[in-house]
Amino acid sequence: MKQIAIIGAGISGLYFANLLEMDSSFDYKIYEKRSMLNLHESYGIQLSVNSIKLLNKIGFKNLSAYEVSFPNKVNFIDAKNNNKICDIDITRFNEESNRYTTLKRSTLIKFLLNKVPDSKINYNIELKDIEYREKLKVNFSNNLNENFDYIIVSDGVFSNTRSIIAGKDINPKFLKSVALRGNIKTHSNSDISIFMGPNFHFVIYPVNQNNEYNFVSIIKKNLTQKQAEDENLFKNNDFLQSLISHINQNAFINLNGNLENIKAFPIFVSEKLEIINRKNIFFVGDALFSFPPSFAQGASQSIETSNDLFTDIKNESEKYYRERIIKIKSVNWRSKLNHLVFHLKNPLFTFIRNISLKYLTKNERFLKSYLENIYRN
């Protein structure tokens, strides 16, 4: 029986563990540096059909429909005047029980944890170094040493494990943007709505059938690297209010008193695609590559990477990185393009964007190449 260490208990690591639970050829342990997982986050995530299909392999379709939402459209709206520009019917990408889904991130984490025995997860522990022997000897922060056949690195965009294995510092890049997250009180549309404004956009969508709605805004912010790494800045109420004021001044909506559970954080992404080749050590999720959030594929790609890697290890096919590189490049350029297009401030460019969106969202060739090739892959 092969022994596997999973470093990090996020979406990618827990999904990988679920796949291992269904295969008696492997045994595993998860190592998580946090003292516990946050099972009460109210913030939402979007899961397109490519990841729902994989989640359904481990029973996701049996989750109560009350805990999720199935939007039919993505609406594109001019934030300044609240006028709808156009929409995309995302049901066209659905396949039987594989439907585009929105939900709380904590709902997904709870589901993934459900089939992972508590004894498999070790908290408050970090990987310190690896000795490359016949097996991989891992030295942990609590003076624990264990041997494994494989190491799966899934500790996120700020992966310290990645730097340890590479033998050099590999740090993500600040995107010159910050995210403002929360739950919005007054909203009633059951679809996904993207409001585009000068140097910002925000997205609202339901996260369950209980009239709870996620709000997330991406705002361009020219902070220094030092400011972006200052946790106290993002907890400062004046800073939070300045973000809200920027939206209020440039949007039809008034967010004052309309947001709950407000939180801001800097957006860091992978600076470049750098594959670290070490025998039987693999990276998944954001530890492999972290995208700009404007294409809403972060969670879905995390699930995809874990599924692809599990299949590769199971079949001993060694195709994982070769095929992943192609998908990463494809998703990344779409994410960058969306980030640019959603934040235009020049009136002429904004006009051209809106006219283009009206045409492209009804163009079959565009929808197939830009979305379907990702959603159904």
Q: Tens digit of pLDDT for each residue in 136-153?
A: 999 999 899 999 999 999
Q: 77-95, pLDDT tens digit by residue?
A: 999 999 999 999 999 999 9
- What is the per-residue pLDDT for 38? 87
- What is the per-residue pLDDT for 243? 96
Q: Among residues 275, 266, 160, which one has the least CA distance to residue 223?
A: 266
pLDDT of 187 > 90? The answer is no
Task: Find the helix packing angle between 11-21 and 298-315, rounded to 10°.
Answer: 40
Q: What angle do CA 273, 284, 32 make, to 5 degrees?
A: 125
Contact indicator for 73, 88 with CB cutoff of 8 Å:
yes
Q: Which residues of 119-130 are buried (b: 16+ CB within 10 A; e: fewer)?
A: eebbeebbbbeb
Q: What is the dihedral angle through the alpha carbons of 270, 275, 276, 281, rounded to the nearest 10 degrees?
A: 100
Confidence of residue 166 (pLDDT cuts 50, 70, 90): very high
Please name the residues in contact with 230: beta carbons below 8 A apart, sequence gap of 6 or more: none
- What is the per-residue pLDDT for 186? 79
Task: Find the helix packing angle between 298-315 and 320-342, rounded to 10°.
Answer: 170
CA 170 to chain centre: 20
> Does domain 2-171+270-375 match CATH 3.50.50.60?
yes
Q: Which residue stretches of 100-196 are H helix?
A: 105-114, 160-166
Q: What is the mean pLDDT of residues 67-79?
A: 97
The predicted model scores a pTM of: 0.96
Please name the residues in contact with 340: beta carbons below 8 A apart, sequence gap of 6 or more: none
* pLDDT above 90 as % of the chain: 92
Confidence of residue 376 (pLDDT cuts 50, 70, 90): confident
Please provide the size of the chain in residues: 377
Distance CA 207, CA 188 (A): 12
Q: Among residues 33, 35, 18, which one has the least CA distance to residue 116?
A: 18
- What is the per-residue pLDDT for 72? 97
Q: Is 32 left (phi over 0), alpha (psi -120 to 50) or beta?
A: beta
- What is the per-residue pLDDT for 373? 93
Read off the tokens for 44: 């939402």
Element holding 220 (H helix, E strand): strand 213-220
- What is the per-residue pLDDT for 159? 96
Element holding 346 (H helix, E strand): none
- What is the per-residue pLDDT for 346? 97
Please name the residues in contact with 201: beta carbons below 8 A apart, sequence gap of 6 or more: 79, 194, 195, 217, 218, 294, 342, 343
- What is the per-residue pLDDT for 320? 96
